[in-house]
A and B are shown apart, each in its own frame.
Chain A
Amino acid sequence: MDSQTVAVRHEEEIAHHEGEHPHYLRHHFETVEQQKEASSFGMWLFLLTEIMFFGGLFMAYLLYRNWYYDAFASASNTLGIGLGTTNTAVLILSSFTMAMGVYCAEKRNRRGLLLSLGCTIILGLVFLGIKSIEYHEKYVEHHIPGASFSIDDFVHPHDKRDIALDPSTAQHAQIFFFLYFAMTGMHALHMIIGVSILFALFYKAWHGAYTTGHTAIIDNFGLYWHFVDIVWIFLFPLLYLISRHPLH
């Protein structure tokens, strides 16, 4: 069946029997329950594929961290711990506002939903803003892997005298930064997609959607947002906190 026909049928359904056969029930599902279960199950599966997707990166990280521990530790120490921690807090907070959004949608509280979604959008944007500041810092410091990569800033992670890391080890910091950019970049990409969807959700919620009992989309997006959050929770210690030097 074509989506247009479905739409026509749906409108008829809204007009005639709003109560017993809700308009958001898609034609191929028997019950609302079934539709809801199917969509959340699908979302979980999708998140599973996302885990495997990041899994490849984590695998690479694991290998090289084992091989080049000193370079990793030293490079990790040049990351801005303050910005990183702030971002972690921002993201956890956004997870909370997202959870509030899901709660409000279930309680059919439109104002609450809009407020939560709005906060989540802002926090998401703050995260991305801070991330871009960090990226810019890396650019200024010539820590972006490639031809202009500079190894001048890396100090020995264990030695208290702040001696420079020898060049052959320091070269491997490139691999760290490559993984840093690949991992946080993939994560940021997910954030950007998430924030874009949030805008769409906000727009629809503004027009009254999701607070009429059909919360599946908000629920599923919540799962996605929390997933992206959890990925960061893993990325933060792995990238920022390798044998942190007390001085930095």
Chain B
Amino acid sequence: MHFISPVLWQFLVKWLTEFALFPPEASAIAPYMDAFYFFLLLISLIGLVLVGLMVGVFSIMFRKEKSPQATQIEGSTLLEATWTIIPLALFMVCFVWGALLYFRIYNPPTNAMNIYIVGKQWMWKAEHPGGQHEIDALHIPVGRDVQLTMISQDVFHSFSIPAFRVKREVIPGRYSTVWFRATQPGTYHLFCTQYCGTLHSAMIGDIVAMSPEDFRKWTAESTSGQSLAQNGERLFASMGCVSCHSATAGARGPNLAGLYGTKEMLADGKTITVDDEFLRGCILNPTTHVVMGYVPIMPTFQGQISEEGLIDLVEYIKSLDTADRIRQTLNDSDYSPNQVGPTGPAPNYRSRQLTGADQLPDAKPDTSTSKGMGPSPQ
């Protein structure tokens, strides 16, 4: 290789060694996806070889030189049935396999830790329940089920982590979810895969999968001091929500304590489960989400709360499990230091296994909302 200049040679070597052919398998679902992929590849290969063989062999055997006379054949029902049914059967296998994989990827396990993602042109914002905010990056622990609840602030985006083999559209106006469990610590690509305007290809980021200890360290270091629920509580007070949803006897609005996850009857007779999507809808379009027995008097908050604010509120409502907790917010809104929660923090968060934050040390400031609220000047 002496005739190639050393600089060029180095460049070539670097270029060729850096080049990837197969994405890293870094999540629990990845091996399943890859197995299916290889199955599909196998089918394709068989199909291609079959067609190639037929075309190739017949072309050689029946070329004009060897076969000056064509023999007219009408067709063969048996053969045609064969190559209808076999592909159909194979495609059905693909369908079932694919469907199983799909439901596995899109139905999060109940005990996954929840992280909120807000997409906007052209950045990703991640909101950890403990109050860690990230931009164009997402830190997650290895070996834990992580659920992402995602929403877009403007146009369609799509949250894609090729190394985890997961992707989901991030839609304006409604939450979508995806989950994964990282298996290999490392830094992986995060792409926006739905075309979203000028800097679409700059809407990328890093997924940092860390060992649980590292993650714990990271959460402790990067907390903003306010959990999402705490932010939500402040919003709840400052937007005046608390004046109607006061959880007192004569309250004009429904009591929100312990509401999350329950079934509610709506004014039009439908029954729904209270989830993130429903709570968000209630805040933005109250009149279309009226709960049975209440008058639609709540004003809309469309355009007044950012997506992050909505997430905070939802997270706050999720955290409420007793009416006391709300009444406490009432008082907290005056920021009087002597109203430190008498009920104690621990029972407040029993219903919050969903977020999983309680299992982590950084969730400490989170689980003692009222303590944190009182003394701090905010």
Interface of A with B (CB < 8 Å)? Answer: 67-68, 70, 166-169, 171
Contacts and interface: CB of A to CB of B under 8 A. Distances in A.
Nearest to B268: A69
Contacts of A70: 287
Nearest to A166: B287
B44 interface: no
Contacts of A68: 288
A151 to B, nearest CB: 12
B299 interface: yes
Question: Which label, helix, strand, loop or mixed, suits the secondary structure of the B interface?
Answer: loop
B272 to A, nearest CB: 15
Contacts, number: 21
A173 to B, nearest CB: 12
Question: Which label, helix, strand, loop or mixed, suits the secondary structure of the A interface?
Answer: helix
Contacts of B302: 168
Interface string B296-324: 11011010000000000000000000000
A204 B69 CA distance: 62
21 contacts: A67-B288, A68-B288, A70-B287, A166-B287, A166-B296, A166-B297, A166-B299, A167-B299, A167-B300, A168-B284, A168-B285, A168-B286, A168-B287, A168-B288, A168-B299, A168-B300, A168-B302, A169-B287, A169-B288, A169-B296, A171-B300
Contacts of B296: 166, 169
Interface residues of B, number: 10
B285 to A, nearest CB: 6
Nearest to B300: A168
A166 B294 CA distance: 14
User: When A and B form their complex, which 3 residue pairs have the shortest distance between CB atoms, in order from nearest?
Assistant: A168-B300, A169-B287, A166-B287
B210 to A, nearest CB: 43
A146 to B, nearest CB: 17
A168 B285 CA distance: 6
Contacts of B287: 70, 166, 168-169
A169 B288 CA distance: 7
Contacts of A171: 300
Contacts of A167: 299-300
Nearest to A156: B296
Nearest to B286: A168
Interface in B343-363: none
A171 B286 CA distance: 13
Nearest to A68: B288
Interface string B280-291: 000011111000
B105 to A, nearest CB: 28
Contacts of B288: 67-68, 168-169
A174 B288 CA distance: 16
A167 B296 CA distance: 11
Contacts of A168: 284-288, 299-300, 302
A171 B300 CA distance: 11
Contacts of B284: 168
A167 to B, nearest CB: 7
Contacts of A166: 287, 296-297, 299
Nearest to A168: B300
B310 to A, nearest CB: 15
Given A67-B288, A168-B285, A169-B287, 17 more contacts: A68-B288, A70-B287, A166-B287, A166-B296, A166-B297, A166-B299, A167-B299, A167-B300, A168-B284, A168-B287, A168-B288, A168-B299, A168-B300, A168-B302, A169-B288, A169-B296, A171-B300
